[in-house]
Structure 1
Amino acid sequence: METMLLHLHLVRHGQTFFNRYNRLQGWSNSPLTDAGLADADKAAAKLRDIEFAAAYCSDTTRAQVTAQRILDANEAAGHVRPSLVSDMHFREQFYGYFEGQDMSVAWTAAGGPHGAKNYNDIVRKYGLAATRDFLKEADPFHDAESDNEYWHRVEDGFALIADNPRLKNGDHVLQISHGNTLLSLMHRFAPEGYDLSERPANGSVTCLDFDTNEPMDRAVSVVSYNQ
């Protein structure tokens, strides 16, 4: 089987009003602030010399606007502009009943019954997967994604990229991502040596190598984080 290694450049979308107000965003649509537009432009400057063979983002406005500004700058630098694929599989974690809630309130509700006072306390005591499972448990409608539901959707997003017949070994792919998704990918795939107490900044770039011929647990390797 021929090698099929893709270089993924994952950009966290620019700052939104929900980011500014410290609210869970998930599948909700909060527009970019002026600072968020500047975040997207900073990411565009970092990536202007890369020829992207494909581009993906979630079907949320914050991801789409960030992607378009990066692709605009990339095209202006003389590169061929790829079509942007906007798909729900690239969305952030779904927080269900807690969508739009103040983060401190939501994570206290999730962690409190388990003796954890906030998000970091849940991670420290129970691991990152528990943040999703505890939030689903605390959701009175149980609509929030469990850890298994979340990863099933995210892995389907990677499968969409892998199934793109136009991509070839060594191609560069732009993917607009989300804060908790980037942190989750790092927890799952990063070797030791990364400070994961530091959340990825809006407009930051995280680089992953994706071997489409490997099973998911071995397919992703981290090149850089939160640059």
Structure 2
Amino acid sequence: MKIIKFNLYVVRHGQTYFNIYNRLQGWSNSPLTDKGIAGAETTGKRLADIHFDAAFCSNTTRAMDTAAIVLGANEADSVKEPVISPNLREEFYGYYEGNDMDQTWYVAGAPHGLPTFKDIVTKYSINRAKDFLKEADPFHQAESGEEYWQRWDKGLAEIKSSPLIKDGSNVLLISHGNAVLSLVERFGEGKYDITERPANGSVTQLTVSDDEIKVTSYNQ
């Protein structure tokens, strides 16, 4: 069977109010700010000449609104609507949804001598940070690393199995900050600084085939 290889353009959604307030918004949501809308429009212009055979996003409004703006700016006869999937959501933060980001990672990491997200990731990994947060969650409903990737592997399989994608296709994915970091940690071969969060509206590129996923650029 011929192996299909395609280019995946992963865009972090535009700035939201929770971004301004430094609050976790995994499965919860807040609207795009005026700056977030303008940023999505700028990203749309950057990608306007790229033909996308398929587009995907999570079922959060911040991702769907960003997808509509980016695809609305496209001038290369691209697909008009994204496929929307809950499997492509951000990490679920459980009890800490909507909580201050720095406070939350202190609660998760301090018992391990690691008071910040950067400290946890530098010593261990983003996956371990997920595990620490699930441990700290009094309801233990935050996603562990294993639970997160069980869900996201389904989302990646949905993308790979799309009948719209051909060999050499360009595919758009509107995603989230921690989700982008998680992809880069898993598929970036250690080449990128995963302690640096991707900017709202930034583009990270991957090549995807039946048997391999590889990051080719991060946070551009």
Deviation at 1:189, TM superposition (A): 1.2
SS of alignment partner, residue 52 of structure 1: coil
Which 4+ runs in 1 deviate beyond 6 A? Answer: none
1:72 is aligned to 2:65: no
Alignment of 1:1-227 (within 5 A): 1-74=1-74, 77-211=75-209, 213-214=210-211, 219-227=212-220
For residues 133-192 of structure 1, what are the alpha-carbon distances to aligned partners after superposition, in whole Å with 9 as ceiling and x for unaligned?
Answer: 010010000110000000111111110011112321111111001001111111111134
Aligned-residue CA RMSD (Å): 1.1
Q: CA deviation at 1:84?
A: 1.4
**Structure 2 contact 122–195 (Cα < 8 Å) conserved:** no
Superposed CA offset, 1:104-134 (max 9, x none): 1101110121111111111122322111001
State how far apart, in whole Å, the 1-side matches of 2:156 and 2:17 are. 28
* Letter in structure 1 aligned against 2:62: R
Q: Deviations over 1:40-97 (max 9, x none)?
A: 01110110011111110000010000000011111xx251434311110110000000
Cα distance between partner residues in 2 of 1:35 and 1:166: 32
Distance 2:123 2:72 in 1: 44
TM-score by length of 2: 0.96
Among all aligned residue pairs of Structure 1 and Structure 2, give the percentage whose two residues are the same amino acid: 54
**Residue 203 of structure 1: SS of its match in structure 2?**
coil
SS in 2 for 1:39: helix
Residue aligned with 1:129, SS? helix
Distance in 2, Cα, partners of 1:210 & 1:226: 18
Q: Which amino acid aligns with 2:50?
A: I
SS at match of 1:28: coil
SS of the residue corresponding to residue 173 of structure 2 reads: strand
Structure 2 Cα separation of the partners of residues 134 and 24 of structure 1: 15
Figure out how many residues of one structure are paired with residues of the other and give that number: 220
CA contact (8 A) 1:52 1:82 kept: no
List gaps (5 residues or longer) in structure 2: none
Aligned equivalents of 1:112, 1:192: Cα separation in 2: 25
SS at match of 2:10: strand
TM-score (norm 1): 0.94
Unaligned runs of 5+ in 1: none
SS class of match (1:174): strand
User: How many Å separate the matches in 2 of 1:192 and 1:161?
Assistant: 24
AA matched with 1:62: R
SS in structure 2 at match of 1:196: coil
